[in-house]
């Protein structure tokens, strides 16, 4: 099992080094919980969402990532950015392998279009669900909803 607070420490260090002070980055992990699964797998899923939030948010923007409880007793990893956003017609396709919204413009942001496919794959291995909400030029919310039976409460 993976302690969410430990994961968050690593994610925040990586996020800050990637952003190099260009964004306001906030991490909140109030619940003491662990997720069943491997460290590397969860780091890559959560990390990919955070890397996207940084990559698709202009300088001066804000990125928040949180761990919180779901209404049904599960747990949610949530990332919010104040970036470029995603037009609604693209949202259903962005988790496909190699799909990128604006190929010409995203060339200089240098991805391959695999990040979200990995996130979705890891989520499905945990019976977790990836949710995406976004508004163009306002920002995006990505969240991974873990069912209760994948979590361990810590004291
Ligand atoms: P890779 O993750 O492989 O380096 P990538 O970031 O292009 O490359 P994905 O992470 O799969 O690939 O994302 C697919 C596309 O979805 C991106 O190219 C981008 O167009 C869009 N996207 C993803 N996250 C965000 C976000 N937070 N804000 C705006 N657009 C996003
Ligand atoms: Mg990516």
Distance 155 CA to ligand 1 centre (A): 36
Q: Is 111 in the pocket of ligand 1 (CB under 6 A)?
A: yes
ipTM above 0.95? yes
Q: Is 81 in the pocket of ligand 1 (CB under 6 A)?
A: yes
Q: How far apart are CA 36 and CA 142, in angstroms?
A: 21
Q: Is 106 in the pocket of ligand 1 (CB under 6 A)?
A: yes
Residue 134, H or E segment: strand 129-135
Which residue among 19, 52, 99 is best mutated to probe the pocket of ligand 1, counting the most ligand atoms within 8 A of its Cβ?
Answer: 52
Whether 7 contacts 45, CB under 8 Å: no
Reported pTM: 0.97
Reading the block at residue 3, the tokens are 């302690």
**pLDDT at site 155:** 80
**pLDDT at site 110:** 72
Distance 75 CA to ligand 1 centre (A): 24
Q: Is 56 in the pocket of ligand 1 (CB under 6 A)?
A: yes
Strands 62-69 and 24-29: parallel
Regions in the chain scoring below 70 on pLDDT: 104-109
**pLDDT at site 108:** 63
Closest residue to atom 20 of ligand 1, CA basis? 101
Which residue among 15, 56, 81, 84 is best mutated to probe the pocket of ligand 1, counting the most ligand atoms within 8 A of its Cβ?
Answer: 56
Q: Is 52 in the pocket of ligand 1 (CB under 6 A)?
A: yes
**pLDDT at site 102:** 80
**pLDDT at site 105:** 60
**pLDDT at site 111:** 84
């Amino acid at each position: 099992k993976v302690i969410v607070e430990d994961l968050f420490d690593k994610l925040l260090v990586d996020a800050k080094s990637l952003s190099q002070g260009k964004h306001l980055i906030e991490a909140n992990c109030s619940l003491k919980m662990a997720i069943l699964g491997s460290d590397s797998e969860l780091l890559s899923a959560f990390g990919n969402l955070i890397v996207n939030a940084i990559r698709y948010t202009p300088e001066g923007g804000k990125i928040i990532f949180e761990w919180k409880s779901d209404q049904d007793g599960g747990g949610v990893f949530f990332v919010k950015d104040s970036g470029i956003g995603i037009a609604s017609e693209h949202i259903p396709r962005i988790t496909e392998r190699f799909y990128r919204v604006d190929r010409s413009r995203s060339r200089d942001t240098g991805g391959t279009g695999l990040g979200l496919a990995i996130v979705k794959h890891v989520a499905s291995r945990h019976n977790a669900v990836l949710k995406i909400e976004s508004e163009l030029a306002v920002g995006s919310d990505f969240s991974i909803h873990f069912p209760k039976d994948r979590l361990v409460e810590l004291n």
